[in-house]
Amino acid sequence: MPKDGAPAELTRDAGAVLQMVFPETEAPAWALRALEARRLGGVVLFSRNLVDREQTAALCGQLREADEDVLISLDEEGGDVTRLEIGEGSSYPGNLALGRVDDVVLTEAVARSIGLDLLELGVNFNYAPCADVNANPDNPVIGVRSFGAESELTARHTAAYVRGLQSVGVIATAKHFPGHGDTSGDSHLGLPMVEYDEALELLHLAPFRSAIEAGTKAIMTSHILFPRYDTQLPATMSPRVLTGLLRNELGFDGVIVTDGIDMGAISGNWGVAEGTVRAVAAGCDALCWGGSREGEEAYLYLRDALVWAVREGRLSAERLHEAAERNRAAARWSRQARAAAASAVQDRSVGLEAARRAITVRGEIKPLAEPPHVVEFSPLVSLAVDSATPWGLAAPLAELLPGTTAEQIHAPTVGTESVGLVVTSVIDHDAVVDVAPVLARAAARPLLLCVRDLHRNPWMRRAVEAVRVARPDAVVVEFGLPHGDLADLLTYGGARVNGQAAAELLTGRTGTTGRKSEH
């Protein structure tokens, strides 16, 4: 593919629609060169790029010095999905907890505070909020990232989140259009299909309509087949979904950004180059690269795929230029709005307030009178969630009740599988966990069992039931979806503040309210 010789405007437009990644904690020379030449529209940051707040601000400053209007993106949803607080867990609960409280003023305040965190560091494009209605409790990828299973509730909180984030100049991204909430498959790993009838269409589209009415600057696509609109191509690559439905019917005129174009649903069926070209031709304006391959080689590969597609007549230069201009316009808007919000005052305590209000207790729980033994059952999480992010009760309880002990039981696996560019572990759902050592370590002490999505993990449920037979006094704390009948306490998410709120309730004591570190 050509690296030189293409018309300058064509090469700039091809680069302008790309949001690329790199492994370094400083901006690499190739990215700075591309930004200075206006041949790269943006970058996506992951936790591997971020050491602490000072380093993150310096990195963003490097990028912005090369191009003032670079789009710097990441997934900072709060709750289970954080990039800025990977080491300790988020200072904000996720969407399900906010939906549980159902106070749109609170949701807007949480989103505004997240936006101010990003503003302080120099990030201007947040892949949030999830506007998916989690209609399927067995959904493996959305879950607590959704405001809930009700369309109207999800719609009003999606709009509040968009308002809060964009009030400080950070671009909001309602995702994953036209709705990832009714799937039983994970598009990171394969190509799910959702059969919508008219009623389901209205249910799942309502939050996106609300996001558009609230002025969202971006909407992210889903790599899902929706036969009601297109029987051949997933939403990311479908003109009927993106141009026909999102542009023409719903009237959205902002940036349409893909979910990671290297996810298994695309890379495993069409390849990333073909997926990139088809996505832009269908109506996408920005290509998010998920990071399965990093650096200049991946950037040039995608950029030149777009250039060749225009030269071969498979993609019109006008469509590519339109996409590039939408990115440039969003960047200009953000620059002006961020300047206006530079003096905004932040109250980070809003995250813990929201987590405390979301807590639900089933039955009667007696306050802990002595340090307990905590068992955290860790399932496999979606690739959207960084598995290194801590969760649970061990840390906050150790602060409130010194002498607390803890252990983790990880999901039993039977190897890995590869789909396109994505490799993931395979869980052994029939595994039986030996709980006798757990009971021995917890002898004569209070016992707390922390679980996530107990209803979707048979190995975990069997272990919890076995413990309960021997220790009916063991308290089960659910950090995932609130389904099933075993949990005594529900947090509606695994953010640090969710664990802290639960620990406070269990002890009757108040812990730290601010960040635990500078990251």
pLDDT for 414 equals 75
Neighbours of 471 (CB within 10 A): 17
Pick the most confident of 266-270, 306-310, 415-419.
306-310
Per the CB < 8 A criterion, the answer to whether 406 and 375 are in contact is yes
Q: Which of 75, 186, 259, 262 is catalytic?
A: 259
CA distances to 99, 138, 380, 477, 486 from 454, in Å = 20, 11, 12, 10, 9
Q: What confidence tier does 241 reach under pLDDT thresholds 50, 70, 90? A: very high
Q: What is the mean pLDDT of residues 502-516?
A: 76
pLDDT for 389 equals 86
Q: What confidence tier does 155 reach under pLDDT thresholds 50, 70, 90? A: very high
Q: What confidence tier does 510 reach under pLDDT thresholds 50, 70, 90? A: confident
Q: Domain 12-340 class?
A: alpha beta
pLDDT for 193 equals 75
pLDDT in tens, 330-359: 999 999 998 888 788 888 899 999 999 999
- SS3 for 136-203, per residue? CCCCCCCHHHCCCCCHHHHHHHHHHHHHHHHCCCCECEEEEECCCCCCCCCCCCCCCECCCCHHHHHH
196 pLDDT more than 80: no
What are the residues whose beta carbons fall under 8 Å from the beta carbon of 92, sequence distance 6 or more? 78, 79, 110, 113, 114, 350, 351, 354, 495, 497
- Stretch (H or E) spanning 92: none
pLDDT for 388 equals 77
Instruction: Give 468 or 456, the one with higher predicted confidence.
Output: 468
Q: What is the mean pLDDT of residues 146-158?
A: 96
Q: Can you spell out the DSSP letters for 398-446?
A: HHHSTT-EEEEEEPPEEEEEEETTEEEEEE-TT-----HHHHHHTTTS-
**Phi, psi of 477, rounded to the nearest 5 degrees:** -115, 115
262 pLDDT more than 60: yes
Q: What is the mean pLDDT of residues 255-260?
A: 95
Instruction: Give 484 or 247, the one with higher predicted confidence.
Output: 247
Instruction: Give 483 or 139, the one with higher predicted confidence.
Output: 483
pLDDT in tens, 90-140: 999 999 999 999 999 999 999 999 999 999 999 999 999 999 999 888 877
Find the range with the poorest average confidence among 31-40, 380-389, 399-408, 488-497: 380-389
| CA nearest neighbour of 146 among 172, 181, 174 | 181
pLDDT for 186 equals 54
d(CA 494, CA 400): 18
What are the residues whose beta carbons fall under 8 Å from the beta carbon of 57, sequence distance 6 or more? 120, 121, 122
**Phi, psi of 45, rounded to the nearest 5 degrees:** -100, 140
Per the CB < 8 A criterion, the answer to whether 217 and 171 are in contact is yes
| CA nearest neighbour of 183 among 143, 147, 127, 241 | 143
User: Which of left, alpha, beta for 188 (phi over 0: left; psi -120 to 50: alpha)?
Assistant: alpha
pLDDT for 2 equals 44
pLDDT for 480 equals 95
Task: Say if 12-340 and 350-507 have the same CATH topology.
Answer: no
CA distances to 160, 282, 465 from 156, in Å = 6, 29, 38
pLDDT in tens, 441-455: 999 999 999 999 999
d(CA 59, CA 64): 9
Q: What is the mean pLDDT of residues 370-394?
A: 86
- Domain map (residue ranges) of the chain: 12-340, 350-507
Interhelix angle 8-16/317-340, rounded to 10 degrees, is 60
481-488: long-range contacts at Cβ-Cβ below 8 A with a sequence spacing of 24 or more? 481/96, 481/134, 481/137, 481/143, 481/144, 481/453, 481/455, 481/456, 482/360, 483/137, 483/454, 483/455, 484/454, 484/455, 486/454, 486/461, 487/362, 487/451, 487/454, 488/361, 488/362, 488/363, 488/365
pLDDT for 203 equals 87
- For residue 139, the one-letter residue type is N
Q: Domain 350-507 class?
A: alpha beta
Q: What confidence tier does 518 reach under pLDDT thresholds 50, 70, 90? A: very low
pLDDT for 282 equals 97
What burial class does residue 444 get, using C-beta atoms within 10 Å of its C-beta: 0-12 exposed, 13-18 middle, 19+ buried? exposed
Q: Which of 176, 188, 223, 455 is catalytic?
A: 188
pLDDT for 513 equals 44
Q: What confidence tier does 468 reach under pLDDT thresholds 50, 70, 90? A: very high
pLDDT in tens, 58-103: 999 999 999 999 999 999 999 999 999 989 999 999 999 999 999 9
57 pLDDT more than 90: yes
Per the CB < 8 A criterion, the answer to whether 71 and 54 are in contact is no
Find the range with the poorest average confidence among 148-152, 198-202, 330-334, 482-486: 198-202
| Average model confidence (pLDDT) across the chain | 91
d(CA 216, CA 210): 9
Structure tokens at 154: 């999800």
Q: What's the residue count for the chain?
A: 519
263 pLDDT more than 50: yes
Percentages of the chain per state (helix, strand, coil), in multiples of 5: 40, 15, 45
Q: What is the mean pLDDT of residues 229-251?
A: 95
pLDDT for 515 equals 45
Catalytic, 188? Answer yes
4 pLDDT more than 60: no
Q: What confidence tier does 215 reach under pLDDT thresholds 50, 70, 90? A: very high
d(CA 51, CA 89): 14
